[in-house]
């Protein structure tokens, strides 16, 4: 198998990131519904840096939702692109573990750096810590599983009868 170019790996990572971002958004909407809060709020929050108070108003606002979702998915794509570039070439298990670590890193960077810089520290503080970490682990797991098809296939050398197969050290 021919090695994948960094551009292709990054692009596939970005697509996987968008899928992870959709799952993350769906989780936040479900939790908002469970808690009896405005269902539209999670979709609008990422738009706060551009829309200010408009992103915080309750109820349906198509512009705020479009801006919030676009920013959220753009950030998710950036996390995915970085993931694809950094972790291309890992095994399936390695990819999954890296995805969990990446999801935790995304939570930490967003909570402790990006949200405070965007004047959204109250957003970070409003969500229960365990829920926020779980949501980002879910993002990372989804990102990893979606990226697995982009990982190179593993080829194994036939082993003598009764022996365990081993990975081919000369795999393409």
Task: Pick the most confident of 3-7, 100-104, 166-170.
Answer: 100-104
Number of structural domains found in the chain: 1
Mean pLDDT of the chain: 90
pLDDT digits (tens, 9 = 90+) for 57-92: 999 999 999 999 999 999 999 999 999 999 999 999
The owner of tokens 């779980």 is: 134
171 located within any domain = no
163 located within any domain = no
DSSP code for 119: T
Residue 159: predicted pLDDT: 64
Burial label for 147, CB within 10 Å (0-12, 13-18, 19+), is: buried
Range of the domain at 66: 6-151
160 located within any domain = no
40 located within any domain = yes
Instruction: Read off the pTM.
Output: 0.85
pLDDT greater at residue 157 or residue 114: 114
Element (H, E) at 156: strand 156-157
SS3 167: strand
Averaged pLDDT for residues 106-119: 94
pLDDT digits (tens, 9 = 90+) for 125-153: 888 999 999 999 999 999 999 999 999 87
Is the CA virtual torsion 137, 143, 147, 151 positive or negative? Answer: negative
Residue 157: predicted pLDDT: 60
68 located within any domain = yes
């Amino acid at each position: 198998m021919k090695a994948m170019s960094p551009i292709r790996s990054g692009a596939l990572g970005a697509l996987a990131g968008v899928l992870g971002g959709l799952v993350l958004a769906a989780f936040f909407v479900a939790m908002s519904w469970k808690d009896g809060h405005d269902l539209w709020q999670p979709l609008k929050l990422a738009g706060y840096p551009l829309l200010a108070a408009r992103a915080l108003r309750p109820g349906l606002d198509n512009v705020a939702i479009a801006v919030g979702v676009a920013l959220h998915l753009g950030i998710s794509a950036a996390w995915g692109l970085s993931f694809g570039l950094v972790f291309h070439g890992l095994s399936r298990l390695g990819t999954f573990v890296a995805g969990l670590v990446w999801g935790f890193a995304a939570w930490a960077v967003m909570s402790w750096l990006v949200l405070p810089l965007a004047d959204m520290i109250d957003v970070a503080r409003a969500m229960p810590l365990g829920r926020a970490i779980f949501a980002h682990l879910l993002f990372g797991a989804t990102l990893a599983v979606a990226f697995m098809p982009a990982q190179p296939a593993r080829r194994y050398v036939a082993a003598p009868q009764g022996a365990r197969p081993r990975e081919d050290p000369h795999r393409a």
